[in-house]
Structure 1
Amino acid sequence: MTTDNTPAVVVTGGGTGIGRAIARDHARDHRVLVVGRTESALAETAGDHPGIRTLAIDITTPDAAAVVVATALREFGRLDVLVNNAGAATPAPLSAVDPTTTAEQFAVNLSAPIFLTQAALDALAETRGTVVNISSAGSTGGRAWPGFSVYGAAKAGLEFLTRTWAAELAPRGIRVVAVAPGVVESGMGLRMGSTPEQYAAFLAEVSAATPVGRVAQPEEIARWVRTLTAPEAGFATGAVFVVDGGMSLG
């Protein structure tokens, strides 16, 4: 176990998109354990950043939470920030929702953050650390999201956990916040099965409907996560920060 006092961060779903950006942004002055299913994608995230370590694991398996926390403590000797970023979405109207994809979405988006945060509690209490849950602006507030009922329900549940954990864990010195991005040009649509042409058309359509006239870049979301985990943000807990270019205002 190292005795280095540099803060340590765990980022799930760090092989692509927002998770990759969060990991690289924190790696400027933190040590980072980036977690995901695909070793090659994690290696690409790590690149030439000496402060990034990788762990290829399926976070939905029963022992994954314990393995992630144990790996972080072995590599860094501490844990200051846990970013529950990994997400999975299978769009479908209610008539086409099936048990397998429903279970998969709840496992990645809701159950995994529950048990990973649980496993990290003692380590986070020692550092008076922070949990950041990555939600979605599409499931925040009273909005409907046709075709994404299961994914949206899981993210709405994650926001409820954020508020509840903030109250539960404040006596232990742990803060819990959430960031709810709008549409981000992260390649998620391609990973969900869209063609490049379909994905480009989707981004253009959303950009036209967004007050600021564009979609977000992963690095913009990463900066918000970094801001909320800084010591100067120590009075913020239980809040969900919507970063969607104003689209949810309509």
Structure 2
Amino acid sequence: MSGHTYFITGANRGIGFEITKYYSNLSKDNKIVATARDPSKAAELKELAAKNGNIEIIPLAIDNDESVAAIDSELTKIGVDGIDIYVANAAISDSYYTVLDCPKDVWLNHYTVNSLAPILVLQKLHKYLLKKQTRKIAFISSGIGSLTRFLPTPISAYGQSKAALNFSVIELSHELKPEGFNVVAITPGVVATGMGTYGREKILKASPEIADIIDSITITPEQSGTNVAKLIDNLKSEDNGKFFSYDGTEYPY
């Protein structure tokens, strides 16, 4: 198979790491640009890169303007002039407050990282994506951001930030369609990552009655990342603008 070049944010842990691992193992012809806020601390990612030889790790703090501005120079250093697929995975989730109790800085942090930063990174990557014909963009969203499948638990800023991201996905799917892009949102499921486990504890403290439901649908990072990666690779033009679950089923906005 011919290889693709992937740009994956937040690739040093959790779902992002598993997506990176899947694409790296899938074909030696694939090239993965894996970003991490601090590559020096990304031990597992560096080990995988050394083993497989098709992963380039670059520093990127998606909420830092200077770091985002440096994407061009970082890609030049590793000889990447075209990107097939952008996977916007990096995010934060630490807003376990009611709407009335959530502090302003928590709202702003979640909007900055989860809603705005993936778009600002895309603004830098657009010209690289245009150099390839694949032109796929996958925003890792969350079922929490669904307005029609609302989960009644205090998660305020995180839920709003993902709903806002979903809006941008829909808008981008129309704006970029003439250029042949396929833009989707994907909920990775309820995943037992470090962030997910922390979130589970917070949610169940506020809503203990949903413990059985949460536990019954929780999956491993490998299950989530592998399924998300396969889903992205198999996207067709008619999928543009859709919101998917990690298992390939369509999810309601």
Report the residue type matching 2:59 in the other structure. Answer: A
Report the Cα offset of residue 184 of structure 1: 0.3
Q: State the TM-score, normalizing by the size of structure 2.
A: 0.81
Could you tell me how far apart the structure 2 residues matched to 1:95 and 1:173 are? Answer: 43
Could you tell me how far apart the structure 1 residues matched to 2:86 and 2:157 are? Answer: 24
Corresponding residue SS for 2:33: strand
Structure 1 residue ranges (4+ consecutive) displaced by more than 4 angstroms after TM superposition? 189-192, 204-207
- What are the residue-to-residue correspondences of 1:40-189 with 2, within 5 Å? 40-47=40-47, 48-72=51-75, 74-75=77-78, 76-90=80-94, 91-128=96-133, 129-142=135-148, 143-189=150-196
Among candidates 14, 19, 22, match of residue 17 of structure 1: 14
Report the residue type matching 2:120 in the other structure. Answer: F
Structure 1 residues 224 and 245: CA distance shift in structure 2, 3 A: closer
Report the Cα offset of residue 205 of structure 1: 7.9
Could you tell me how far apart the structure 1 residues matched to 2:152 and 2:35 are? Answer: 29
Report the residue type matching 2:67 in the other structure. Answer: A
Structure 2, unaligned runs of 5 or more: none
Corresponding residue SS for 1:213: helix
Could you tell me how far apart the structure 2 residues matched to 1:43 and 1:99 are? Answer: 34
Report the Cα offset of residue 46 of structure 1: 3.4
How many residue pairs match? The answer is 237
Report the Cα offset of residue 70 of structure 1: 4.2
72-81 vs 97-106, which deviates more?
72-81
Do the aligned residues in 2 keep the contact of 1:6 with 1:31 (CA within 8 Å)?
yes
Could you tell me how far apart the structure 2 residues matched to 1:185 and 1:33 are? Answer: 25
Could you tell me how far apart the structure 2 residues matched to 1:232 and 1:182 are? Answer: 18
Q: State the TM-score, normalizing by the size of structure 1.
A: 0.82
Do the aligned residues in 1 keep the contact of 2:228 with 2:247 (CA within 8 Å)?
no
Report the Cα offset of residue 92 of structure 1: 1.5
Cα offsets for 1:63-90 (capped at 9, x unmatched): 3333235423542332111111111122
Cα offsets for 1:118-165 (capped at 9, x unmatched): 111111122132111001112213214432111111101111111111
RMSD: 3.0
